[in-house]
Amino acid sequence: MKNLKIGDIFIYILLVVFAAIGFIGMKSMVGVEGKSRVVLVLLDGQEVEEIRISPDMEKKEIRIDTGNGTYNIVSIDGDGVRVVEASCSDKLCIKQGNIDSPGQSIVCLPNKLVIKIIGDNNSPIDDITY
Sign of the torsion formed by the C-alpha atoms of 32, 35, 41 and 42:
negative
CA 14, CA 6: separation in Å to the nearest integer?
Answer: 12
Is 129 contained in some domain? no
Q: What is the pLDDT of residue 105?
A: 94
Q: What is the pLDDT of residue 120?
A: 60
End-to-end CA distance of the chain: 39
SS3 38: strand
Residues 19 and 52 in one domain: no
CATH of the domain at 53: 2.60.320.10
Q: How many CA atoms lie within 13 A of 16 on its CB side?
A: 6
CA 108, CA 127: separation in Å to the nearest integer?
Answer: 23
| Parts of the chain with a pLDDT under 50 | 32, 122, 130
Residues 11 and 41 in one domain: no
Residues 23 and 57 in one domain: no
Q: What is the pLDDT of residue 32?
A: 44
pLDDT tens for 94-109 read: 999 999 888 899 999 9
Residues 41 and 85 in one domain: yes
In terms of pTM, does the model score above 0.85?
no
Sign of the torsion formed by the C-alpha atoms of 105, 22, 124 and 58:
positive
Residues 22 and 79 in one domain: no
Which residues are 75's β-sheet partners? 61, 82
Q: What is the pLDDT of residue 10?
A: 92
Residues 14 and 44 in one domain: no
Write out the residue range of the structural domain in which residue 23 sits: 1-30
Task: For residue 88, give the nearest of 105, 62, 61, 64 by alpha carbon.
Answer: 64
Q: What is the pLDDT of residue 125?
A: 53
Residues 47 and 25 in one domain: no
State CA 76 to chain mean position distance: 13
Instruction: Give the chain's domain count.
Output: 2
